[in-house]
Structure formats: structure tokens, C-alpha cells
Amino acid sequence: ACSGACVSVSNNDANCGSCGRACATGSACSGGSCYLNDGQACTTGNQCRSGVCSTFYLDADGDGYGISTSITRCGTTQPSGYAVNSGDCCDSDGNAHPGQTSTFTVADGCGSYDYNCDGTALLLAVSPTTSSIRCVGTPQVMVVCRDDA
């Protein structure tokens, strides 16, 4: 009934599932149904050939943490410029991200000392002696003294 040609309707992208039903560009036939290939935009995993629809977050500074702006794609490979993790509090400074354990003597790219994104600013003050150190107000100051003599 289909132009006389014999094809497997379970995995033929041009005749998927029934005669004349071609899978759309970016899709592939599997088990008689058309599914999106990895890297294609999706809303649920059942649309994807891999069965996985992942969320990725815009990561302008490349620190592995993105902001709330997100996209969804089939598969688990993150697109360039995106991260698997969200929660970055300063996406213009690669040193500022959740879990940061280092402290810094200058503000981050957003003007804050909250490098670990926990809502608390922490300033590292380095001084050769403790005799003239006086800590007042916020941000919290961690004083590290060094003896360069």
C-alpha cells in the first residue's frame, strides 16, 4: 500500500512508523516513533531519543555555576556558555560562585565580598602586624597577619 518499497518502519527516518511519515530535522526514528536527537530543545524526556531532557543555566564567567536564565536540551552534554548548576551570585566574576572557600582582598566583579554566594560578605585583610588592625562594621573581616621580616 506504500509505493511498493519495503523499508523498516521502526528505524527509517524517512518512513518512521507509517508510510510517508518523515521525522523532522533534528529528529530520528527509533522503535517506530520520531524522537529529538541530543542537543535539541525539549520540554520532557519522552521527546528525546536518549530519554533525558536536561536544564542548563547561562554561565557567562565559565565558573561552572549559572544564573537563573535557563534552557532545556535533550541529553546531558551542556551547551557552550551554560552550566549544569545554578546559583551564581556574580556571573561576571569566575571566582564568585557557590562553594568558594577562598577569600579575597578586593570586591568581586559585582562589587561584593560575597564570593561564596551565601549572602554574607567576607573580606580578607592582610597586614604585616596586628598592632594597628581595627575591624569595624560590615563586611565581616577576616584578618590574616604575616611576618615578612
Q: Give the CA dihedral 13, 18, 19, 25, nearest 10 degrees.
A: -30
Residue 132 reports pLDDT greater than 50: no
- The closest of 138, 106, 105 to 119, measured between CA atoms, is 138
Q: What is the mean pLDDT of residues 98-125?
A: 88
pLDDT digits (tens, 9 = 90+) for 43-93: 999 999 999 999 999 999 999 999 999 999 999 999 999 999 999 999 999
The whole-model pTM stands at 0.74
Q: What are the b/e assignments for 90-99, b being 16+ CB within 10 Å?
A: bbebbebbbe
Residue 70, Ramachandran bin (φ over 0: left; ψ between -120 and 50: alpha; else beta): beta
pLDDT of the residue at 20: 63
Give the mean model confidence (pLDDT) for residues 106-119. 92
Predicted confidence at residue 145, as pLDDT, reads 44
